[in-house]
């Protein structure tokens, strides 16, 4: 053992070890107090980059799920309105069929049927022009090529485009100016027009229903995907508390031992005094 007063190698080594333990202990304390083992890029550069990508995906999926729920609400409102229109058209078809029964019709009954028939035509237009979501009309023909963002990325596979055709009486060819049941011959023509309108509305409603089912399936998939991405990100950045506490306990012992050894190393030069007679 070399004894030196000017340079205490043992004390320097003890200090370096103590400093290293202190730095490691500070990192462990940060991990335990924050619950994160990767807080900045300095902790783990590649892990930080991966974590940010996973966080972006998880956040995007969360918003996409909300977007999908809103899309389902839009489609449900449109579908409900179309269902009412079909019911109205079915009643119009009944009236037209009744008015076409020439052998049992008379001017008074035809007039009564025509009055109800026209009221139903007006109701069809009212539904088509008033059905909306957040101020956006759905059934008047203006709702075309509307895109729902139901994924985390700006990709066509994460989007659904929807168009809903116009369902006014004019678009369905059952407007008051074109269709009536005031006469038997007019009622016969009205039957064909109304039945065609029923098939048109039913076809549009079926298309909307198919898109609704598609969006619901995507939302369910997004929900599972978000959970898995969050789990992956958690495994990467979250602190393993049991492991960190074990490490912290070891570091506490090393800190106490390091302080004691530094104290002993600093006292070594005093031994030289014993060499002096």
Q: Do 270 and 214 share a structural domain?
A: no
Q: What is the CATH number of the domain that holds 67?
A: 1.20.1330.10
Closest CA to 27 of 262, 235, 239: 239
107: Cβ–Cβ under 8 A, 6 or more apart, which residues? none
Structural domain includes residue 31: yes
The encoded tokens of residue 154 equal 């700006």
DSSP for 13-79, please give it.
HHHHHHHHHHHHHHHHHHHHHHSBS-SSTTT-HHHHHHHHHHHHHHHHHHHHHHHHHHHHHHHHHHH
186: Cβ–Cβ under 8 A, 6 or more apart, which residues? 99, 179, 180
Q: Do 157 and 21 share a structural domain?
A: no
Structural domain includes residue 118: yes
Q: At 23, is the pLDDT very low, low, confident or very high (cuts 50, 70, 90)?
A: confident
Say what the pLDDT of residue 10 is. 80
Closest CA to 123 of 101, 75, 90, 164: 90
pLDDT in tens, 184-228: 899 999 999 999 999 999 999 999 999 999 999 999 999 999 999
Structural domain includes residue 2: no
Q: Which of 1-10, 77-86, 114-123, 160-169 has the lowest mean pLDDT?
A: 1-10
Residue 4 is given by DSSP the state: -
pLDDT exceeds cutoff 90 at 11 = no
Q: Do 226 and 209 share a structural domain?
A: yes
Structural domain includes residue 52: yes
Question: Which residues span the domain enclosing 14?
Answer: 9-37+239-275
Distance of alpha carbon 200 from alpha carbon 50, whole angstroms: 51
Q: Do 156 and 120 share a structural domain?
A: yes
Say what the pLDDT of residue 103 is. 67
Q: Do 112 and 91 share a structural domain?
A: yes
pTM for this model (two decimals): 0.77
Say what the pLDDT of residue 213 is. 95
**Average pLDDT for the chain:** 89
Higher-pLDDT residue of 125 and 251 is 125
Distance of alpha carbon 274 from alpha carbon 262, whole angstroms: 21
Q: Do 80 and 217 share a structural domain?
A: yes
Q: Do 250 and 179 share a structural domain?
A: no
pLDDT in tens, 159-182: 999 999 999 999 999 999 999 998
Structural domain includes residue 162: yes
Q: Do 269 and 142 share a structural domain?
A: no
Q: Do 122 and 71 share a structural domain?
A: yes
Q: Do 98 and 62 share a structural domain?
A: yes
Q: Do 255 and 228 share a structural domain?
A: no
Percentage, residues of the chain above pLDDT 70: 94
pLDDT in tens, 43-89: 889 999 999 999 999 999 999 999 999 999 999 999 999 999 999 99
Higher-pLDDT residue of 19 and 92 is 92
pLDDT exceeds cutoff 60 at 1 = no
Q: How many separate domains does the chain show?
A: 2
């Amino acid at each position: 053992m070399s004894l030196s007063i000017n340079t205490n190698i043992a004390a320097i080594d003890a200090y370096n070890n103590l400093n290293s333990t202190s730095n490691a202990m500070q990192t462990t304390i940060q991990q335990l107090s924050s619950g994160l083992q990767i807080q900045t890029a300095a902790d783990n550069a590649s892990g930080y980059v991966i974590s940010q990508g996973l966080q972006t995906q998880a956040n995007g999926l969360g918003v996409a799920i909300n977007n999908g729920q809103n899309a389902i609400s839009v489609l449900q409102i449109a579908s409900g309105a179309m269902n009412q229109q079909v019911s109205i058209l079915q009643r119009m078809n009944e009236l037209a069929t009744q008015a076409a029964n020439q052998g049992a019709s008379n001017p008074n009954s035809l007039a009564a049927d025509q009055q109800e028939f026209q009221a139903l035509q007006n109701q069809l237009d009212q539904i088509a022009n008033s059905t909306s979501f957040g101020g956006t009309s759905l059934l008047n023909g203006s709702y075309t090529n509307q895109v729902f963002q139901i994924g985390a990325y700006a990709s066509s596979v994460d989007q659904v485009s929807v168009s809903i055709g116009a369902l006014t009486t004019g678009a369905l060819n059952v407007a008051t100016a074109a269709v009536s049941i005031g006469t038997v011959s007019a009622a016969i023509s009205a039957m064909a027009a109304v039945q065609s309108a029923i098939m048109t509305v039913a076809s549009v409603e079926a298309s909307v229903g198919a898109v609704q089912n598609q969006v619901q399936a995507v939302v369910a998939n997004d929900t599972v995907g978000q959970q898995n991405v969050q789990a992956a990100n958690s495994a990467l950045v979250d602190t393993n508390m049991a492991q960190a506490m074990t490490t912290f306990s070891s570091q506490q012992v090393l800190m106490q031992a390091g302080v004691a050894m530094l104290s002993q190393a600093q006292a070594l030069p005093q031994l030289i005094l014993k060499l002096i007679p």
